[in-house]
Amino acid sequence: MRQDNPSPLEFFSRLRWLDGRDLLDTMEEYRRELHMQALYTFRGDGSPLYNFVLSGRAKKNWKTTDLVLAAFYRNLVWHSAHNNDCYILANDEGQAGDDLTIAKKLVEANPIIKRDVNVLVKGIKRKDGAGAIMILPAGDPTGAHGKTASFIGFDEIHGYKTHDLFEALAPDPTRQDTITWITSYDTIYNSPGVPLYDFKQAGKAGNDPRMLFSWYSGEYCTDPRFAELPSDERANPSMASWPEGPAYLAQQRRRLPSHKFRRLHLNLPGAPDGAFLDNDIVVNSTISGLRHIPYEPGHNYVAFVDMSGGSSDDAVLAIAHKEDRYRRLDLCISQDGKPPFNPRNAVRKFVRALQDYHIDEVTGDNYAGLTFKSDFELAGISYRSSDKNKTEIYEAFEPHLNGGDVELLDLPKLQEQLLTLVVRGAKIDHRPGDHDDWANAAAGAIALANEEKAYHVRKWDEVEKRQHREMADPLADF
């Protein structure tokens, strides 16, 4: 099978883009690699290695174009014992029209394609009858059910709530060369059971050898070349191709509600129903580009820790201080590496950070009994059990956030967790399958910063009372 098929890049090298440029001159290296991995990587028997592709990027990063190009490759170039039918299911009529427009313009720009196909109302059909590219809105996959296809593409599935359409258009199990390709920015409904959420979790788990997971977002990136870049660049790997460059994102930030900007241009999930915190307020309280604030003499710093057993949740330390009317988050860090991890190594890392900020006490809950209390205290850091539960911490944090008194660090995981907190009955918590360790630590530190002056007064009173007792009775503690 491999020997009979020219590679995608061989095919693309013969094509032109809509403006007359050589197509490959418009394709960044990461896009070329995606096509080669997805369409031209093989198993030992010559069949394609991947039969499922999940490709996520922010808006204006060529997602739809790559989907259409992949369909053209599978329709016109791929040699198969079966037909070369390809389906692209768009999110709605408008998206289907946009996808179809790109496909038709590619035909017009490339005589080598035009000579072999007829342009239809809803697609492109090979003149030899060997297959067609049909582009339909997701609610109208008429005629696609039960048919065998070489390629099944889904363009923008961020609004899907169920797997029904994927089940209806499941690939023919008798065909080894069928590929399903999904491209989208992140979901509005970021919870278990929602297709894009479930697909992302499978991609992150990495336990499906026939799934290719390509994801670029402000919070998570599968490409090591972009993973350490600022969130704008991480979510927009094609930014260099934009005429306005970064200025376009600055413009969109001014014009769009922050929750829409996050989803469209940072490829981050939308806020869930029942969200506890206001999306715009969280985003506006975040100091763009600021990852931490170093220690400065003269501030009274406080620290809150959300420990973990190391199997699934992060262990997170947050440090904050109050300055004038502001509660500032100075540091928010987790253990080194992803779960699973040794939580005692996290304690050692946190102790070093506490010492850097001249802090000799940390507050946390009673997770794992006195285990972590003992670990901190053996390192010279006293551990105080919080007098508030998680819900009370969030309730203490919210008024200061809404009042514009809180300044947060620009940490995507923290922002995502704050924005996905929900009210569940009388409790404030994360949704099933999500986490709130970063949010809990940060909110806990901010709440402590608000209480910091009063707390230090109480602590001084206790010391003074003890000194008076000792003066009255030197043996009182013996």
Delimit the domains of the chain by residue range. 2-255, 271-462
Contacts of residue 264, Cβ cutoff 8 Å, sequence gap at least 6: 58, 59, 185, 252, 256
pLDDT mean over 289-304: 95
pLDDT tens sequence across 246-283: 999 999 988 886 777 888 999 988 776 678 888 778 88
The three-point CA angle 155-156-160 to 5° equals 120
**Antiparallel, parallel or unpaired: β 132-137 and 211-215:** unpaired
Task: Quickly count helices (H) and strands (E) in the chain.
Answer: 16, 16
Distance between CA 63 and CA 142 in Å, rounded? 24
Distance between CA 37 and CA 53 in Å, rounded? 10
The most confident of 90-94, 147-151, 339-343, 458-462, by mean pLDDT: 339-343
Question: What does the block give as tokens for 205?
Answer: 């788990």
Distance between CA 381 and CA 361 in Å, rounded? 5
pLDDT mean over 127-149: 76
Alpha helices by DSSP H, listed for 182-238, are: 195-205, 231-235
Model confidence at 432, pLDDT cuts 50, 70, 90, reads confident
Model confidence at 156, pLDDT cuts 50, 70, 90, reads very high
Is residue 171 over pLDDT 50? yes
Task: Please give the single-letter amino acid code of residue 39.
Answer: L
DSSP H or E stretch at residue 281? helix 279-284
User: CA neighbours within 13 Å on the CB side: how many for 446?
Assistant: 29
Cis peptide before 340 (omega within 30 of 0): yes
**Distances in whole angstroms, Cα of residue 231 to Cα of each of 248, 254, 283, 322, 399:** 15, 17, 13, 27, 28
Torsion region of 298: left, alpha or beta (phi above 0 gives left; psi -120 to 50 gives alpha): left
Higher pLDDT, 94 or 119: 119
User: Which residue has 């050692």 as its token pair?
Assistant: 348
pLDDT at 369: 65
DSSP assignment, residue 320? E
The CATH T-level fold of domain 271-462 is Nucleotidyltransferase; domain 5 (3.30.420)
**Antiparallel, parallel or unpaired: β 406-407 and 382-385:** unpaired
Is residue 244 over pLDDT 50? yes
* Phi/psi at 89 (5° precision): -100, 110
Higher pLDDT, 420 or 144: 420
Predicted model pTM: 0.68
pLDDT at 452: 53
Question: What does the block give as tokens for 24?
Answer: 């490959």
Higher pLDDT, 35 or 172: 35
pLDDT mean over 145-173: 84
pLDDT at 294: 97
Distance between CA 251 and CA 8 in Å, rounded? 36
DSSP H or E stretch at residue 406? strand 406-407
Architecture in CATH of 2-255: 3-Layer(aba) Sandwich (3.40)
Higher pLDDT, 425 or 132: 132
- Judged by average pLDDT, the poorest of 25-39, 382-396, 460-474 is 460-474
